[in-house]
Structure 1
Amino acid sequence: MKNKVSSSTLLAILAVGVMTFSGVTVETSMNITFPTLMSEFNIGLGVVQWITTIYLLVLSSVIPISKFLKSRFKTQHLFIIANLLFLIGLLLDAFSPSFYILLLGRVIQGIGTGIALPLMFNIILENVPKEKLGLMMGIGSLITAAASAIGPAFGGAIVTALGWRYIFVILMPVLLISLLIGMFSIPKLIQNDLENSRFDLRSFILIILTFAGLIVGISNISAYPIISYMIYLPIIIGVIALIVFVKIQNSSANPILNVSILKNISYAKYVIAFFINQLIILGLAFIVPNYVQIINKSNSSVAGFILLPGAILGAIISPISGILLDRFGAKKPILSGITLMIIPLLLITVFSVNLSNYWFLIAYTFIMIGVGMSYGNIMTQGLSYLKPSLSADGNAILTTVQQFAGAIGTAIVSTIVTKVGQLNVSDNGTFGYTFALAFLMTLSLIQFAIIYSTKNKKINS
């Protein structure tokens, strides 16, 4: 049948999806290990946070060149390189004798995941019939959404039962299985003609400077006074690098990333909505565990597992929501999902002074159902506004925005909790959390308005 997804395509998506899931899971699960790593390696909080920051920085820098990699190398070669790099990073981290070897392992993992993440969506876009595109994009996007929420629970359980090194050890056989499946299935996919294009090193350096400046500067807000040069200098460098990068891409005959597609207003709106959606996910992944541990005095395992039901239900809903998009269009499932995010966010903001773990569990579960209905569909619908020849560029921009939102989301929310919390020391510590939740709720309202104001377009048209 014309609209049937082949078994090779399904296995290829599974292979790359497992690798992507592992990458996102290890990213979020490491946050729970900070106290243990600080004690073992005798380092401070400002140093240990680089475990996550440097990983996200590498991801954000590698993903924008995914279009170039796709045009120069065969899909199976990119997959094998990504998988082997990830495995090398896992080995280094599992047996690292020092913190700096641990960081090196994270850098290598970041390169592998940075290649794999856009590769998964490119495989879907190129090999799945339009009639099934919403479903398969939903399955692809649930991988990253679910992994973001499952990570803390996974990390908490492993650290408590076995020790932090087993986070990496357990993933090794998973990556090997992924490698075997991919080596069998990916060569059977549609293969595009390769180009002998030249790598634009200048643009790549500007990408690194952009994300290094913005991520480091924003991350420093919570650690330094608001007027500190440690905040403004990196941000200024990042903004200048971004401006120069955009000018170079717009004047290039063969840009490393076609940023001019952001002139497509409908696509640009969905990019902003996608950014907001990811920022809310990562912001809540910080607020909920910390509130549960600091305010409600529960342990890390309880905090991690409160996120688990929502992650599972969100994962189940995501492909179902993709089916709804295939049949009825994007707006209804997306707006319904955002509404399911707004209502519980409003309730936990209003009652944030005294929230039990039980109510956090319920609220977070409904929010993640809303994420499952909206997250993948926002990506699918956004790409539908572009010509098929621009899908790789559109996918690269969306995936880069996703990682950038993840990198700064935790920093922004933690800064609000810390800085605002200092304004009222007479409460039980919830003042900052109230403002952080109100911030996320406001973002969800903006997201709703953006989607509502954008003209709908049938995916299959």
Structure 2
Amino acid sequence: MSQQIHTVKSVKGKTAIPQYLVISFLTIFAIGAQYFSNLSYVLNQGVIQIGLHISSDHLLLPSILSNLAFALGVPLGPALTRKLGLRKNYLLFTLVFLCGSVIDMMSTGIVTLSIGRVIQGIGSGILFLTILPVSLRSFPNKIRNLFLFMIITGLFGASALGALCGSLSLYTDAWRWLFLLNVIASLLCFIIGYFRLPRQEEKAQEQSPLDKRAVVLLCSTILALAVPLCNLTHNGFSSIYVWPFLSIAILLLGLFIYVDLKAEAPLVPFRSLKSAKPVSGTIMAVVSHSSLIIAIAGINGFLLNNMDLSYLNLTYFYFWFLVGIIGSAILKTLLFDKFGAGVLGILGSLVVIYVSFQWRVIGTDISLPFLYFQIACLGCGVSMVLVSGALGTALAGDIHKASHRSATLHSIRNFIGATLSPFIGWLLLRQNTIHYQKITGNLNVGDSSRQLEVGFKKSAILGAYHDLFTLLLILGIIMLIASGAKVITGKGRPLVKKEKQMLQSE
């Protein structure tokens, strides 16, 4: 992988545009398109449901399957890049993502929509660790901290922009144009990548062949997980479509980890995380990613079910989410080398804890400006912890093994993220039922009290969201502890090396 990365640095720019800006564009638009689709789908499910006449029981299927496909693709990316080379691999899976986007744009039902989202997921998942490490290496040393601004505004910003456009799709009552944007993005990536990525690459010399057993076990694990995750939300753990398949998936996952630990060329180099410094960074990144999923699921449900916000106010809400992410990008760019991943992780964790405290008791009487401020804080805090943890892990130890640590972290992070959403849906339904039974336990609700029953239902779902935000608070505390451990283990390497350090590394 490192040989593929270095080839980019040796290529002379054919135009006045610096190579690092070209690679940044290829990174943001290739990976960001998937993040854009994920968040936009969260917002516009109702529009798609009406447009394609989909049952509400099936609405989550495209999202679940796409996330699983992405999680499968992430560890496969570096292995395929070693086999095919950077340029071939990037162009091939950009075309794969393009095909998935076209299928989604022309979908006629849940089957075609799910197929398109799966193709998108596997394409962007493989592209993730194909192009992201190249992007970091392409930045000249003196301005390498600008990579932080690019990665936060580009990738986290794509998520925020997806949520914003998803809310706009509710206003326009149309959704196919969102996938059209994905088509345009992947076409631009293919055209620019075709002309600007290096044509002649040094042939990668693999120390040992790829362990095919690990590939088969990983694919089997993902396939086994698809069945229980697609049925969990509505059927629960007791369903015959959940617990048997979930048990098989856990067994296959254990076998995969065992085989991969023994392999000479592992898909996921778990052995690279063998000290406290990368482990603490991995916990920061994984838990902050989980926090973002939980926070968006909870606050979006609260806004739609309890606040009854207009589509315009919903758009404003996610605009301020984007503002918070941009603020985090500026802070990280200016302060990462000065304070290190641990200190910035602590600051971000404290912000998340503050927001979760507020949302644990959130009510419909909250003012919109205060709500906008809180979502901006959440975007800033979560992105600060996640990127601090990811970079802190990559830069913790032998720099030549940075790609191994990064691959392990992102594989774990995306696997957990892919499995989390169905559990959140199940938890919300479970807690909603519990709260509703508590509220109505001593009451007899007759036909004459329909309005009162609606109030009970809103109170019950609000209690479920409060429980979810309590979980967010717990995750914020875990992030804070992991960030503190990161401080104790040392600040780590800076992004921008001093001249003496560069001479020593050479």
- Normalising by the residue count of structure 2, what TM-score does the alignment of the two structures yield? 0.83
Q: Alpha-carbon deviation of 1:299?
A: 4.1
Alpha carbons 1:318, 1:376 under 8 Å: kept: no
**3-state SS of paired residue (1:263):** coil
Alpha carbons 2:209, 2:265 under 8 Å: kept: no
The separation in 1 between residues aligned to 2:435 and 2:99, in whole angstroms, is 47
Alignment partner, residue 439 of structure 1: 471
Task: Give the alignment partner of residue 104 of structure 1, picking from 115, 120, 124.
Answer: 115
Task: Give the alignment partner of residue 484 of structure 2, picking from 443, 452, 456.
Answer: 452
Deviations 1:46-98 (A, max 9, x none): 32211111111111111111221121122121221122111111112212334
Alignment partner, residue 106 of structure 2: 95
Q: Alpha-carbon deviation of 1:100?
A: 1.8
The separation in 2 between residues aligned to 1:237 and 1:399, in whole angstroms, is 24
Task: Give the alignment partner of residue 413 of structure 1, picking from 420, 424, 430.
Answer: 424
The separation in 1 between residues aligned to 2:343 and 2:200, in whole angstroms, is 33
Letter in structure 2 aligned against 1:459: R
Alignment partner, residue 140 of structure 1: 151
Structure 1 unaligned residues grouped into runs of 5+: none
**3-state SS of paired residue (2:435):** coil
Task: Give the alignment partner of residue 395 of structure 2, picking from 379, 384, 387.
Answer: 384
- The change in CA–CA distance for 1:323 and 1:359 in structure 2 (over 3 A counts) is closer
Letter in structure 1 aligned against 2:185: V
Alignment partner, residue 281 of structure 2: 270
The separation in 2 between residues aligned to 1:334 and 1:121, in whole angstroms, is 21
- The change in CA–CA distance for 1:209 and 1:305 in structure 2 (over 3 A counts) is farther
Letter in structure 2 aligned against 1:290: G
The separation in 1 between residues aligned to 2:427 and 2:482, in whole angstroms, is 24
- Normalising by the residue count of structure 1, what TM-score does the alignment of the two structures yield? 0.90
- The change in CA–CA distance for 1:247 and 1:33 in structure 2 (over 3 A counts) is same
* Larger Cα-atom Rg: 2
Query: Root-mean-square deviation (CA), in Å?
Result: 2.7
Alpha carbons 1:333, 1:374 under 8 Å: kept: yes
Are 1:181 and 2:192 an aligned pair?
yes
Q: Percent identity?
A: 17
Q: Alpha-carbon deviation of 1:239?
A: 1.4
Alpha carbons 1:293, 1:300 under 8 Å: kept: no
Alignment partner, residue 222 of structure 2: 211
Mapping of residues 49-64 of structure 1, within 5 Å: 49-64=60-75
- The change in CA–CA distance for 1:397 and 1:446 in structure 2 (over 3 A counts) is same
Q: Alpha-carbon deviation of 1:260?
A: 1.5
Mapping of residues 172-251 of structure 1, within 5 Å: 172-187=183-198, 193-195=204-206, 198-214=209-225, 216-218=227-229, 220-251=231-262
**3-state SS of paired residue (1:457):** coil
Letter in structure 2 aligned against 1:348: W
**3-state SS of paired residue (2:242):** helix
Are 1:257 and 2:268 an aligned pair?
yes
The separation in 2 between residues aligned to 1:57 and 1:72, in whole angstroms, is 23
Alignment partner, residue 21 of structure 1: 32
Mapping of residues 146-185 of structure 1, within 5 Å: 146-161=157-172, 163-185=174-196
The separation in 2 between residues aligned to 1:435 and 1:191, in whole angstroms, is 54
Alpha carbons 2:52, 2:108 under 8 Å: kept: no
In the comparison of the two structures, how many residue pairs are matched?
Answer: 458
The separation in 2 between residues aligned to 1:387 and 1:125, in whole angstroms, is 17
Alpha carbons 1:276, 1:405 under 8 Å: kept: no
Alpha carbons 2:139, 2:147 under 8 Å: kept: yes
- The change in CA–CA distance for 1:422 and 1:23 in structure 2 (over 3 A counts) is same
Are 1:394 and 2:405 an aligned pair?
yes
Alpha carbons 1:142, 1:319 under 8 Å: kept: no
- The change in CA–CA distance for 1:144 and 1:37 in structure 2 (over 3 A counts) is same
- The change in CA–CA distance for 1:201 and 1:419 in structure 2 (over 3 A counts) is same
The separation in 1 between residues aligned to 2:259 and 2:119, in whole angstroms, is 28
